Chains A and B, each alone.
Chain A
């Protein structure tokens, strides 16, 4: 079984400032890792994912996350945020064997301050 911890429930950031949203996971097996984003009044969309290979993965809108196996972390970063990044961000983990469920963290609400 896996678990995910997102320690920050809310993160306020000034526009154009950098941001890091923290995610730590626990698993006894190898994992796939995901970040999903939920814009206000919408469903969840995949932002980026780590499956294998390079530990640094990037999204098309400037976010990146780095898989750190020794620290069991998958923190999400962006060097300069925009108003349009206001959303709730969910980290999720699954095992790599079979069609396993996603286990989600409790989410981090990112608020951009103009």
Chain B
């Protein structure tokens, strides 16, 4: 089954404790992206990657890191989480124009709480 997977689905942590949220897609998509969803703000892009070893900042990159060593994986790293990073996080992938559009396929989400 074609899908985007994220782990963990739920995470409660404390301020300053480094964490990684994994994202993997099995559709051979070149484009991958991380979003955070907050009430009243919709989805805002954190980072994106157009291909392996190519990453760039989105609209709200502060406090986050990403890497793209393999095409299928795009982990999100919070080196020193703070309470304002409490949010619902979504990973997405897209075939880009190679697939005919910029339609993105979303993972199930990771609900992060930073105390």
Contact = CB atoms under 8 A, between A and B. Distances in A.
Interface stretch (A11-19, A37-45, A60-68, A71-79): A37-45
Interface in A42-60: 42-46, 49, 51
Interface residues of B, number: 28
Given A42-B108, A51-B100, A99 B43 contact: no
B100 A104 contact: no
Contacts of B25: none
A101 interface: yes
A25 interface: no
Contacts of A36: 106
A36 B104 CA distance: 10
Contacts, number: 58
Given A51-B101, A100-B102, A101-B33, A106 B41 contact: yes
Contacts of B35: 104
Interface in B73-108: 90, 92, 94, 96-97, 100-108
A9 B41 CA distance: 10
* Chain A interface helix/strand/loop/mixed: loop
Interface of B: 30-31, 33, 35, 40-45, 48, 50, 58, 90, 92, 94, 96-97, 100-109
B43 A104 contact: yes
A106 B45 CA distance: 13
A99 B30 contact: yes
A32 B33 contact: no
